[in-house]
Structure 1
Amino acid sequence: MKKNYTKIVLDLMLAITFVLLMNPRVFDGLPFHEIAGLIIGVAILFHIGLNYQWVVNTTKKILDPKLPKKTRFSYLLNVLLLISMVAVIITGILISKVVLPSLAIQGSHTLRELHGLSADATLAFVGLHVGVHWQWVMSICKKAFKSKTGKLRKDVLVSVVLSIAILAGGIQWFSSTTSSNNSFKQEQMQQSGQSSSASTEDTTNTQQGPTQEDFREGKMHGKGGHGGSSNPFLVVLNYFAIWAAIIIPTYYLEKRLLRNKRKSKRLDPQPS
């Protein structure tokens, strides 16, 4: 059971970090975007490790006609999700401007487009993945928040609320600190810069590559960085709403298919 709790907490943290990466203007722009992206890559390997036994067993039985259709679909969905995530990570490395610029392919518009498309595909696959497993998620949450007698476990509830408050406070602090640093840097540039030197500096930056301002604004990201507000709370709410639009119909569609399957089994005549 503790393993299931670990998986849910890890998945939630991955989900929050991933949606923040959907807008590269969040926090300090590309530095956060690229560093957090690499961290997510490591976390995904850990996530696969937690589900290693299921992956191995399902792979062995994938051609078995007795394998449930839901398991087969879930396996295929996980493969597609892994492919899209690998595409995001590899293309991200190849267009890196901050963490791994030595490995980047300069001026590759195709890679930037592929990076954005694979990120959108990953967003959709994650929504489907959660929708298919929503009943399992709710079951684990009920067991976490309720004791065997059915009473609400207040200690767990307090811990979750406190963790969310700390996470929200940390995001807000990081966001406000980044905004203050950016404003301070802009004021310094306005006070010390002159128009002639600024023009020369702009020309030099154009020849040498993207500026730090480009990094912060996310201009170097594929597909223009998806646009929208760079406020981290609004970004999380926006993409969680998109996930909800995928998860809810997926859950109810699966529920209906399961109900029809059970109904057909009851109507089928039993062999004498």
Structure 2
Amino acid sequence: MKKNYTKIVLDLMMAITFVLLMNPRVLNGLPFHEIAGVIIGVAILFHIGLNFRWVITTTKKIFDPKLPKKTRFSFLLNILLLISMATVIVTGILISRVVFPSLAIQGGHSIRGIHGLSADATLALVGLHIGVHWQWIMSICKRAFKSKEGKLRKGVLASVILSLAILAGGIQWFASTATTSMGDFNKAPIQQNSQSSTNGGTGTINQNPPNGDFQGEKFEHDGRGGKEGHGGSSSPFLVVLNYFAIWAAIIIPTYYLEKRILRKRRKSNDLHPKVS
């Protein structure tokens, strides 16, 4: 039970962080985008570790005709999700400007495009993944937050609220510190450009950063470009609300479609019972 509770809390925090990463403008751009991307990469490895036994067992039985179709579909969905997420991480490293600048590929516009497309694919696959497991999620939440007598477990609820508060506090702290640190990123290109203009004999100072510097890459890091980024707003609350609404549009039909398929299967089994 504790393991399932850890999964729910970890997945919720990963979901919030992931949707914040979908907009490269949120929380002052690249510093948060890249550092949070590294953190969520580590969280994904931890998530796989928590489900390692299921992964091994299902891999061994993947070609077994007795394996339930839902389990096989879930396994294949997880493989696709792992591939898309790995693509996001690898391409993110190759266009990094803050965390891995030495590994960045200059002028990697095609890589930025792949980064953006794989991020959108991951968003859709995560929504499908949640929809397929929605019944299990609700079952775990009910057992986690309610006792056998039907009473609300205040301690569990308080710990979840505390976890989310720590996450929100960490994001707010990062936003305030990144505002100060961003000045250091922007000063260097301006000073360098000023010196080059002066040495050229013009005596004028060009205040526009050169192409490809930190400021120029800030809103184009994921290949989507645009002044407003993908989410249309840099407010963390609005970004989370926007992408959770997108997930809801995927989760709800997936959940009801699965229910309908299971209902038809039960009716078919009742009409044509298996002979032992």
What amino acid is the match of 1:210?
A: G
Q: 1:170-226: CA deviations, max 9, x gaps?
A: 43454355457769999xx9xxx9xx7542x43xx42xx5334335x4233311241
TM-score (norm. length: structure 2): 0.85
Alpha-carbon distance between aligned partners in 2 of 1:267 and 1:132, rounded to the nearest angstrom? 26
Alpha-carbon distance between aligned partners in 2 of 1:270 and 1:71, rounded to the nearest angstrom? 21
Q: Indicate conservation of the 8 Å contact 1:171/1:232, yes or no.
A: no
Q: SS state of the match for residue 26, structure 2?
A: coil
Q: CA deviation at 1:159?
A: 3.1
1:44 paired residue number:
44
2:68 paired residue number:
68
Q: CA deviation at 1:269?
A: 5.3
User: How many percent identity over aligned positions?
Assistant: 72
Q: SS state of the match for residue 24, structure 1?
A: coil
Alpha-carbon distance between aligned partners in 2 of 1:256 and 1:74, rounded to the nearest angstrom? 17
Q: CA deviation at 1:103?
A: 1.3
What amino acid is the match of 1:107?
A: G
CA distance 1:271–1:253, change in 2 (3 Å): same
2:269 paired residue number:
265
CA distance 1:177–1:105, change in 2 (3 Å): closer
1:160 paired residue number:
160
Q: Indicate conservation of the 8 Å contact 2:19/2:239, yes or no.
A: yes
Q: 1:4-27: CA deviations, max 9, x gaps?
A: 111111111111111111011111
Q: Indicate conservation of the 8 Å contact 2:13/2:164, yes or no.
A: no
Q: Indicate conservation of the 8 Å contact 2:124/2:250, yes or no.
A: yes
1:130-145 map, 5 Å: 130-145=130-145
Alpha-carbon distance between aligned partners in 1 of 2:46 and 2:166, rounded to the nearest angstrom? 24
Q: Among 202, 226, 230, which residue is 1:226 paired with?
A: 230
Q: SS state of the match for residue 84, structure 1?
A: helix
Q: Indicate conservation of the 8 Å contact 1:175/1:232, yes or no.
A: no
CA distance 1:109–1:93, change in 2 (3 Å): same
Structure 1 residues without counterparts, runs of 5 or longer: none
Q: CA deviation at 1:82?
A: 0.2
Q: 1:15-69: CA deviations, max 9, x gaps?
A: 1111111011111211111111111111111111111111111111111111100
155-164 vs 80-89, which moves further: 155-164
Alpha-carbon distance between aligned partners in 2 of 1:50 and 1:169, rounded to the nearest angstrom? 26
What amino acid is the match of 1:268?
A: H
Q: CA deviation at 1:132?
A: 0.4
1:118 paired residue number:
118
1:236 paired residue number:
240
Between 1 and 2, higher relative CO (CA 8 Å, sep ≥ 6) is seen in 1
Alpha-carbon distance between aligned partners in 2 of 1:96 and 1:132, rounded to the nearest angstrom? 34
Q: Indicate conservation of the 8 Å contact 1:41/1:89, yes or no.
A: yes
Alpha-carbon distance between aligned partners in 2 of 1:7 and 1:270, rounded to the nearest angstrom? 37
Q: Which has the higher helix share?
A: 1
Alpha-carbon distance between aligned partners in 1 of 2:45 and 2:273, rounded to the nearest angstrom? 47
Q: CA RMSD in A?
A: 2.6
Q: SS state of the match for residue 222, structure 1?
A: coil
Q: How many residues align?
A: 260
Deviating above 4 A after TM superposition, structure 1's stretches of 4 or more consecutive aligned residues are 176-186, 269-272
Q: Indicate conservation of the 8 Å contact 2:31/2:178, yes or no.
A: no
Q: Indicate conservation of the 8 Å contact 1:61/1:67, yes or no.
A: yes
CA distance 1:234–1:269, change in 2 (3 Å): closer
2:251 paired residue number:
247
What amino acid is the match of 1:213?
A: Q
TM-score (norm. length: structure 1): 0.86
1:147 paired residue number:
147
1:5 paired residue number:
5
Q: SS state of the match for residue 229, structure 1?
A: coil
Alpha-carbon distance between aligned partners in 2 of 1:36 and 1:184, rounded to the nearest angstrom? 20
1:128 paired residue number:
128
